[in-house]
Structure 1
Amino acid sequence: MPALDLCSHAETALAALVDVMNQETTLLRAGHLREAGKLTPDKARLAQDYVTLARTIQRQSARLAAEAPEALTRLRSGHESLATQMAENLRVLATAKTVTEDVLTDVARMVGQQNRTRTYGTGGQVSADPAASARGLAINRAL
């Protein structure tokens, strides 16, 4: 494949990947987890396409540097932009995961309190059975 065509395909794949990651990050920040999840298949496909092209470019870097140095420089700059976007995306994903786990833990605690006995024991304290906490509550940690 001609050097400029290869670089052009890679730039297009890179721009699309950065765009979909930006959309996902924006949706996650707004708390729209379901909508963000719908972008996952596109993100995975675009990432696979970009990685395939990046490996090809890496193998042919000497030829590309000679035939299309400006395009190669643009790709390197775009790759740095992708790295920045990925770091931000991962930071937002980690925050969303932590918030979700905290909410689910609070819900489980509240459900467990509803099942707790309301009588006093011999020591004058309300006895709590930790095994009764959150019966029947399932948490999906797939996020």
Structure 2
Amino acid sequence: MTAAARLAALDALPAEELCSRAETALSALVDVMNQETTLLRAGHLRQAGQLTPDKTRLSQDYVTFARAIQRQGKRLAAEAPKAMDRLRAGHESLATQMAENLRVLATAKTVTEDVLTDVARMVGQQNRAKTYGAGGKVATDASSSAKGIAINRAL
């Protein structure tokens, strides 16, 4: 089936059915994002990463339905106003969950960067000569700290 045929099939769905399918996709997406946020907060980065394929698929499904709803907005508002109201409320829930998810992701990224910076600094300090300089203090040469470290992402 071509993409145009799939879009036409979505546009031809009865209003309640199209809204119901969109609600199902939306609910599943909010749920997987909530799971990811919970795992990230708990520091379970690997388990959170395992949700990425599902989150991607559900996001694509929801966007497909959301575009169909945009194309059919007037018809749906006339034929299924209560379903459209539920979708709006669900979309607000998604926006809230996405904002929280992004905050937690940003925090995890910052913590990871801080840890890596600290590790690089410590590795650099181990390689530094511990001798006294002309002023009687241990010389601190920032250029002698580690320039980078390798990370095995397979672990």
TM-score range, shorter chain: over 0.9
- Structure 2 unaligned residues grouped into runs of 5+: 1-12
What is the letter of the counterpart of residue 64 of structure 2? T
- Native 8 Å contact 2:120 2:146 kept in 1: yes
Q: Residues 130 and 92 (structure 1 numbering): CA distance in 2 closer, same or farther, change over 3 Å?
A: same
- Native 8 Å contact 1:28 1:96 kept in 2: yes
What is the letter of the counterpart of residue 58 of structure 2? L
- Native 8 Å contact 2:40 2:108 kept in 1: yes
What is the letter of the counterpart of residue 117 of structure 1? A
Q: Give the SS at the match of 1:91.
A: helix
Provide Cα deviations, 1:11-47, integer angstroms capped at 9, x if missing partner.
0000000000000000000000111011111101100
1:24 aligns with 2:36: yes
Tell me what 1:123 maps to: 135
RMSD (Å) for aligned C-alpha atoms: 1.4
Tell me what 2:88 maps to: 76
Q: Give the SS at the match of 2:21.
A: helix
Q: CA deviation at 1:111?
A: 0.9
- Structure 1 unaligned residues grouped into runs of 5+: none
Q: Residues 73 and 31 (structure 1 numbering): CA distance in 2 closer, same or farther, change over 3 Å?
A: same
Alpha-carbon separation, structure 2, partners of 1:79 and 1:122: 66
- Native 8 Å contact 1:117 1:128 kept in 2: no
Aligned length: 140
Q: Give the SS at the match of 1:104.
A: helix
Q: Give the SS at the match of 2:128.
A: coil
Q: Give the SS at the match of 2:137.
A: coil
1:58 aligns with 2:70: yes
Alpha-carbon separation, structure 1, partners of 2:64 and 2:136: 68
What is the letter of the counterpart of residue 43 of structure 1? K
Provide Cα deviations, 1:56-106, integer angstroms capped at 9, x if missing partner.
101111000111111111000000000000000000001111111111111
Q: Give the SS at the match of 1:120.
A: coil
Tell me the percent identity: 80
